[in-house]
Each structure stands twice: as structure tokens, then as C-alpha cells.
């Protein structure tokens, strides 16, 4: 458990849990407001009207919003009585009002349920996090007064608030010399003063959040080499850069800048995703190919494929396999895996036109004072091959899955391109981050999309995969070859309304076709 959770004394039995039963599932929910002035408010079941959580792949942090019943301003004006020991809560409004929030789907209704006894279960199915209140507003709905709290992750608030002096050389300073070269620091040139972007992101997080390795990263202690810390699912990165904080920027700006330059140090050399787990509070930095490698093992679903979602069809209400488009052994949660609403869609022409095209990388060499324009790696023809190898080959197809990227002659011949600029001339990895990897990210996000609404489950998270199948046996058709299959989750919304409704809305993308649809690409 993270040390800041313990220090705030918010996880003990004194924090009363509320019990909910929604769609035959029991939930344990705790919500506690605290601030540095000693104010504390344990929110009862009756106070929680609406809970909304948004998990986005490209945002390391959860966003949240809750609505509280607040008739007669009861939250602020409560006076202790024999039945109620709590004072009213005075919101400071400076980001120091903190909400401890915990949601645990119970495996049973036993009152003696112990959190620590189910660590593996909770890491998958539960939420436990510290949020900071960034905005509190009163609102009236149907004549009833509510308090609406806009919430950011507490870590994000610290990154947004702090100006720090952060320098790459401070992350490699051991005994007065560069750990890699052994050269005294004052003799190092600019390149030697740099470090890997992944290492710098780790050090920046530890410094800004005032946390140790064990608190915010997964650590492998099995190695006999006690001097080296082995981080699980947090790569060092291939990009090495000499970096100093801009005095006009916050820690979050340093953080985002380094992440933008980051290129995986694995063979794929693609972009990576930084996420904070919303139960353990620990961070991972995983390259995109690794996500897809964990989705499927051809006919078998992998550890990152979490659910088979069923949609209605025209036939009998019977789950079909549609010619084997979904991998075997994908979990199915009965009525909770039945889509309440589903919308398939193609990406708009405007996005494809602007984003999915060759990237011309412009550089200026200060030594020989020459301009260079490079596009061999970031050419759209080359990118399709890498896109297929990284994000398509692990999927299931009739013979082989077909990439869903359509390149017309206009794009193949570079009559449609985007100019990008690299300030680090000669740095091959940064060139990849600005060119090819930018194109790969756009291509993934511009693929076939689905928006599906389901009865809620906490284990649905961005960065995981679901399969879409029909709840009927329909004739083979191109639509199903195109839209059914395995999707990569980009965004999940968790919404609790009152004490009897929990809904998920999932947005996900699909990178392949089950069969060759023979689209004509010989077009200007």
C-alpha cells in the first residue's frame, strides 16, 4: 500500500463503508473528505447521488466527478449530535481538500471481508485512490440542491502545481561522475549529460511526489544483484536527451515533454503508454507492441483480452462465433457482457487527411549548418509494414489478419504529408518519436471504432482488449468481417447513479480486418 494512503489514515476500519447491491452484485464503497485543517466527512450512502470516473489511455490519471446531496447546505453546516459525530466540512478551494475513494465489488456478502486478503482480486476488480477537489459548485436539479465536486488525481495536482528544477544530469550523478562513462561531470559534453527518458520520468515522479521506488513502481526483488533495481513494466527507453526544466513550466510540463520524446528500448522502437494503476497507485510505462502481444495468442485469448461482448443480431438469441473471429477462452459475464447500446463507426475524412500521412521530419545541423528533410522511416508505405507487424499479426484472421489501414496513391506518392520539426538534429530516436511513432499513434486512433454501453464492471480499463461478437448466428457478410473481432480499449467511463445503477461506456478501436476486403487503393 502506498505510504501516502497510510499517512492520511484513510484506510482503517474507522472509515465506514457503504454497501450497495446493483444488478445482483454487492459493492463496498467508501468516500472520505479530509483537509489539513482537521475537517473530515465520511460520506454516507444517502449523500452519494452520482459518481463518474473517466479512464483514458493517453491520460495517466483518472478524472472523476461526484454529486452529493446538499439540501440546506448540510455538508458545510452539519453540527455534531449523539447520532452524528461529524462537524460540517469547510472546503478550502486550494486543492488541499482530498477525497479518499474506494470501490470494491465483493465476492461475497460476508461482513468480515478483509481488503488485504484479496490483493490480487482487488488489483484487477477494485478502485482505491486519493483525489484532490479542484472545483466545488452548488447546482440545483429538480428543486434539490447538490454539491458537485470536480476531482483530479492527487499525484496530478502535485505535478500541475510544482515548479521544480529538474536536470538530466542529476539522474546520473554517482560519486561525482557519469555512471556510464566514469568521466567527471565538469568534463562531460552535452550528449554525455543526458539520460534515458524512461529513467528521467521515474526520477521526476519520485522527486515531485516525494515517494520511493517501492511506493509507486512494481519492483522485482528476485535478482541477486542488490545494487540494481529491476522495474516491472517500466522501460528505460531508447531516447537519451540532455534536459533541463524550463523555469516557466511546471513539473507536468517536464513530464509530458519527456514522454513525448520517449521511444521504447525494445526491438519495436515504438511509442509507449504511461499509466497509474487505480488500485495500487503504481506506475507503468509499456510500449504499444507489448499491449498487442498480450491480447491474443492466435486462437487463444491473452492476459489483456478481458471480455467477450455480445451484440444483438437478426437470428435466434444464441451466441455465435461468426466463423471463429473471436479468440477462444475469452471470459463472458452473461448479461453484463450483453451490449445495451452499440455504435460502430469509421474515422472522419478530416482526421484521416490531417493525421494519417507521411511525416516529413525537418532538422537543422548546427555543426555543419545544413537543413535536412527525412521521411524514409516515417513514410506511410513503411509505416503500414510496421503497423501490421506490431498491431495486427497477433490478431485472428481467416488465414492472416489484414491491416485496416487504407493507403491511396495520393498518400503513397506523398501528395499528402505533414511537416514536423526535430530540434535534436541527428538523434535517431527523437526523429522516430516525431515522425514514425507519431504516425503509428495516429493510425491506431484513426481505425475502426466502437462505442458500447454495458452494465458496469470495474475491471474494464483502458489498455485492455475486448472481443465483439453477435448474440445470433447470422450469414457471413463483409460488415461482420470488418467490425467483429478484437478491439483495443481507449476510453472507459464508469457511472454510478444513486444506489441502483452502474453503467460503463467503452470506446475502442480495431486495427485489422478478419478477411481481405479488397479495397481499391489505386486512386488519386
| CA–CA distance, 266 with 260 (Å, rounded to integer) | 17
Strand partners, 273: 286
SS3 content of the chain, % helix, strand, coil (to 5): 25, 35, 45
| CA–CA distance, 324 with 101 (Å, rounded to integer) | 41
Strands 465-470 and 305-311: parallel
C-beta of residue 323 within 8 angstroms of C-beta of residue 476:
yes
| CA–CA distance, 328 with 308 (Å, rounded to integer) | 10
Residue, of 366 and 282, whose pLDDT is higher: 282
Q: What are the DSSP calls for 28-53, one per residue? A: EEEEEEE-TTS-EEE--GGGEEEEEE
- CA quadruple 247, 249, 274, 128: dihedral sign: positive
Whether the pLDDT of residue 192 is over 80: the answer is no
Strands 358-365 and 417-422: parallel
Strands 417-422 and 370-374: unpaired
Tens of pLDDT, residues 412-433: 888 888 899 888 877 888 888 9
Question: Does 388 reside within a domain?
Answer: yes
C-alpha cell at 211: 515517494
Residues 58 and 149 in one domain: yes
**Mean pLDDT throughout 42-70?**
94
Residue, of 120 and 468, whose pLDDT is higher: 468
C-beta of residue 327 within 8 angstroms of C-beta of residue 436:
no
C-alpha cell at 62: 483518472
Other CB atoms within a 10 A radius of the CB of residue 383 amount to 25
Q: Among the three residues 396, 411, 445, which one is the final residue of a domain in this structure?
A: 445
Residues 34 and 114 in one domain: yes
Instruction: Give the CATH number for residue 339.
Output: 2.40.30.150
SS3 95: coil
Whether the pLDDT of residue 11 is over 90: the answer is no
Whether the pLDDT of residue 448 is over 80: the answer is yes
Q: Among the three residues 250, 270, 288, which one is the final residue of a domain in this structure?
A: 288
Percent of the chain with pLDDT over 70: 85
Per the structure, the complete domain to which residue 127 belongs is given by 3-153
**pLDDT at site 317:** 47
**pLDDT at site 178:** 46
| CA–CA distance, 335 with 455 (Å, rounded to integer) | 8
C-beta of residue 133 within 8 angstroms of C-beta of residue 99:
yes
Residues 134 and 236 in one domain: no
Tens of pLDDT, residues 201-240: 999 999 999 999 999 999 987 765 656 789 999 999 999 9
Question: Does 451 reside within a domain?
Answer: yes
- Angle in degrees, 0-180, between the axes of helices 436-445 and 380-391, rounded to the nearest 10: 60
Residues 206 and 273 in one domain: yes
Tens of pLDDT, residues 370-379: 888 888 888 8
Residues 298 and 393 in one domain: no
Residue 71: C-alpha distances to residues 136, 141, 466, 482 (Å): 15, 11, 42, 51
Tens of pLDDT, residues 90-146: 999 999 999 999 998 887 665 545 555 577 888 899 999 999 999 999 999 898 999
3-state helix/strand/coil string of 384-453: HHHHHHHHCCCCCCCCCCEECCCCCHHHHCCCCEEEEEECCCCCHHHHHHHCHHHHHHHHHHCCEEEEEE
Query: Cell 478491439, residue?
Result: 487
DSSP state of 80: -
Indicate the number of domains in the chain: 4
| CA–CA distance, 408 with 352 (Å, rounded to integer) | 12
Tens of pLDDT, residues 163-179: 988 888 878 754 444 44
CA gyration radius, the chain: 25
Q: Which residues contact 513 (CB under 8 A, 6 or more apart)?
A: 397, 401, 402, 403, 404, 481, 482
Q: Tell how far CA 433 is from the center of its chain.
A: 19
DSSP state of 328: B
| CA–CA distance, 34 with 208 (Å, rounded to integer) | 22
Residues 195 and 180 in one domain: yes
Other CB atoms within a 10 A radius of the CB of residue 338 amount to 17
Question: Does 200 reside within a domain?
Answer: yes
Q: How confident is the model at residue 322 (pLDDT cuts 50, 70, 90)?
A: very low
Query: For residue 269, which phi and psi values (nearest 5 degrees)?
Result: 50, 30
Residue 244: C-alpha distances to residues 45, 204, 210, 215, 253 (Å): 48, 12, 20, 26, 12
| CA–CA distance, 82 with 80 (Å, rounded to integer) | 7
Q: For all residues of the chain together, what is the average pLDDT? A: 85
DSSP state of 405: -
Residues 390 and 462 in one domain: no
Burial of 343 (0-12, 13-18, 19+ CB in 10 A): exposed
Number of separate helices (H) and strands (E) present in the chain: 14, 29
Residues 271 and 368 in one domain: no
Residues 337 and 457 in one domain: yes
| CA–CA distance, 146 with 355 (Å, rounded to integer) | 42
DSSP state of 304: T
| CA–CA distance, 434 with 521 (Å, rounded to integer) | 27
Torsion (CA) 385, 390, 391, 393 in degrees, nearest 10:
80
Q: Among the three residues 268, 288, 308, which one is the final residue of a domain in this structure?
A: 288
C-beta of residue 261 within 8 angstroms of C-beta of residue 431:
no
Residues 175 and 253 in one domain: yes
Residues 53 and 172 in one domain: no
Question: Does 520 reside within a domain?
Answer: no
C-beta of residue 237 within 8 angstroms of C-beta of residue 264:
yes
Residues 256 and 183 in one domain: yes
C-beta of residue 487 within 8 angstroms of C-beta of residue 468:
yes
**Mean pLDDT throughout 370-394?**
88
Amino acid at each position: 500500500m502506498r505510504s501516502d494512503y497510510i499517512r492520511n489514515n484513510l484506510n482503517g476500519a474507522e472509515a465506514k463503508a457503504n454497501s450497495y447491491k446493483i444488478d445482483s452484485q454487492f459493492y463496498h464503497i467508501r468516500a472520505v473528505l479530509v483537509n489539513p485543517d482537521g475537517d473530515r466527512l465520511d460520506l454516507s450512502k444517502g449523500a452519494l447521488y452520482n459518481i463518474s470516473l473517466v479512464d483514458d489511455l493517453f491520460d495517466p490519471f483518472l478524472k472523476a466527478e461526484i454529486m452529493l446531496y446538499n439540501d440546506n447546505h448540510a455538508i458545510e453546516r452539519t453540527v455534531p449530535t449523539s447520532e452524528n459525530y461529524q462537524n460540517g466540512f469547510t472546503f478550502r478551494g486550494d486543492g488541499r481538500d482530498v477525497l479518499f475513494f474506494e470501490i470494491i465489488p465483493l465476492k461475497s456478502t460476508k461482513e468480515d471481508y478483509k481488503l488485504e486478503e484479496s490483493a490480487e482480486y482487488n488489483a484487477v476488480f477494485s478502485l482505491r485512490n486519493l483525489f484532490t477537489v479542484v472545483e466545488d459548485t452548488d447546482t440545483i436539479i429538480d428543486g434539490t440542491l447538490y454539491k458537485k465536486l470536480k476531482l483530479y488525481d492527487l499525484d496530478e495536482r502535485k505535478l500541475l502545481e510544482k515548479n521544480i528544477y529538474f536536470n538530466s544530469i542529476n539522474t546520473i550523478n554517482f560519486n561525482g561522475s557519469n555512471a556510464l562513462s566514469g568521466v567527471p561531470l565538469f568534463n562531460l559534453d552535452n550528449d554525455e549529460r543526458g539520460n534515458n527518458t524512461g529513467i528521467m520520468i521515474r526520477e521526476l515522479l519520485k522527486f515531485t511526489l516525494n515517494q520511493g521506488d517501492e511506493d509507486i513502481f512494481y519492483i522485482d526483488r528476485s535478482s541477486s544483484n542488490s545494487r540494481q533495481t529491476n522495474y516491472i513494466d517500466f522501460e528505460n527507453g531508447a531516447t537519451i536527451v540532455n534536459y533541463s526544466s524550463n523555469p516557466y513550466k511546471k513539473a507536468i510540463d517536464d513530464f509530458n515533454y519527456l514522454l513525448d520524446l520517449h521511444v521504447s528500448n525494445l526491438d519495436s522502437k515504438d511509442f509507449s503508454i504511461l499509466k497509474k494503476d487505480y488500485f495500487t497507485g503504481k506506475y507503468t510505462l509499456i510500449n504499444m507492441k507489448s499491449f498487442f502481444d498480450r491480447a491474443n495468442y492466435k486462437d487463444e485469448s491473452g492476459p489483456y483480452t478481458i471480455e467477450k461482448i455480445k451484440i444483438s443480431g437478426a437470428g435466434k438469441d444464441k451466441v455465435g462465433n461468426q466463423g471463429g473471429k473471436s479468440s477462444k477462452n475469452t471470459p463472458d459475464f452473461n448479461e453484463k457482457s450483453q451490449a445495451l447500446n452499440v455504435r460502430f463507426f469509421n474515422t472522419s475524412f478530416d482526421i484521416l487527411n490531417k493525421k494519417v500521412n507521411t511525416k516529413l521530419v525537418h532538422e537543422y545541423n548546427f555543426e555543419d549548418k545544413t537543413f535536412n528533410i527525412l521521411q524514409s522511416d516515417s513514410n506511410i508505405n513503411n509505416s503500414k509494414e510496421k503497423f501490421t507487424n506490431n498491431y495486427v499479426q497477433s490478431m485472428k484472421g481467416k488465414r492472416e489478419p489484414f491491416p485496416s489501414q487504407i493507403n491511396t496513391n495520393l498518400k503513397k506518392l506523398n501528395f499528402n504529408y505533414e511537416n514536423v520539426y526535430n530540434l535534436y538534429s541527428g538523434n535517431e530516436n527523437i526523429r522516430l518519436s516525431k515522425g514514425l511513432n507519431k504516425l503509428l499513434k495516429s493510425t491506431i486512433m484513426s481505425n475502426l471504432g466502437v462505442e458500447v454501453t454495458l452494465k458496469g464492471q470495474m475491471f474494464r480499463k483502458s489498455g485492455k482488449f475486448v472481443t465483439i461478437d453477435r448474440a445470433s448466428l447470422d450469414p457471413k457478410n463483409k460488415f461482420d468481417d470488418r467490425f467483429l473481432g478484437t478491439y483495443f480499449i481507449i476510453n472507459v467511463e464508469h457511472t454510478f447513479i444513486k444506489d441502483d445503477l452502474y453503467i460503463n461506456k467503452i470506446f475502442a478501436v480495431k486495427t485489422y480486418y478478419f478477411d481481405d476486403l479488397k479495397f481499391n487503393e489505386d486512386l488519386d
